[in-house]
Amino acid sequence: MRIVTDDIEKDWSIKNFANAEPVEMIYRAKQGLEQRKMAATGIPAVLSGMGDPVLKSGGGTGSTIALIEQAGKKFGAIDKGVRRDLTGLYSHTLDLLAQYGSIELYAKYAAPEDLRYLQMLKAIQPGTSISDLFSLIVEAPSASNNREMQKQNALVVWKFIQDQSQIALGLAQQIFPQMNPAALIPYMVQWANLMNRVGQEVIDLNELPGCGTSCRRSR
């Protein structure tokens, strides 16, 4: 690697890692960065499992809990700011794709069922934001939104819908014939559409080949 410099004696200095002192300098520098990070963000030390340097031993449990709650609020504000900024960044990226991207580019990377929606990008008038067609939501990875957890949650919802439908339809068959017999069939159709939609989501999450197309055609 070639680096241009006007004064090599002033711009560069050589450190020997053979003794312990330079290595200790690295650890001290890293510790200093951690302290600066805590001071800049205002995150209390108790959130990192350390004693609070201000309260020391004179602080009670309530004060420590209050510090942790305040830190949680700061984390939430930072999270919202990151989500908001990333949403704008991703929206701008899609705006560029909509303006300069080709259908061949979409077909190369997009799934076939998503391609027809992406083709709508070519119909966007100049000056129209991509947010008018797509709703972008930025989520941080966690145990609650990873794909495997979504599969399990979808199955739980599917079982709940099945149990709920049996109760609701059983009551409807007792009530509707006396009150409004003609409304029973549309009510049952609503439940059938709901179960079909939830079942389709379960199929899509489990990526079962062929099932998604056949189920969609049967609607």
User: Considering the entire predicted model, what is its pTM?
Assistant: 0.38
Alpha-helix residue ranges (DSSP H) falling in the chain: 8-11, 20-41, 61-100, 103-109, 112-118, 147-179, 184-206, 211-217
Q: What is the DSSP string of 115-175?
A: HHHHGGGGGPPTT--GGGT---------TTTSHHHHHHHHHHHHHHHHHHHHHHHHHHHHH
* Side-chain half-sphere CA neighbours of 140 within 13 A: 10
Separation of alpha carbons 211 and 209, rounded Å: 6
Matching residue, tokens 């339809």 = 169
Judge contact between 154 and 118, C-beta under 8 A.
no
Per-residue pLDDT of the chain (219 residues; tens, 9 = 90+): 677 788 878 888 776 666 656 677 888 888 888 778 777 766 666 666 666 666 655 566 676 677 667 777 777 777 788 888 888 888 888 777 777 777 787 788 888 877 877 777 777 676 677 767 667 777 766 655 567 777 888 888 889 999 999 999 999 999 998 888 899 999 999 999 999 988 888 888 877 766 654 444 444
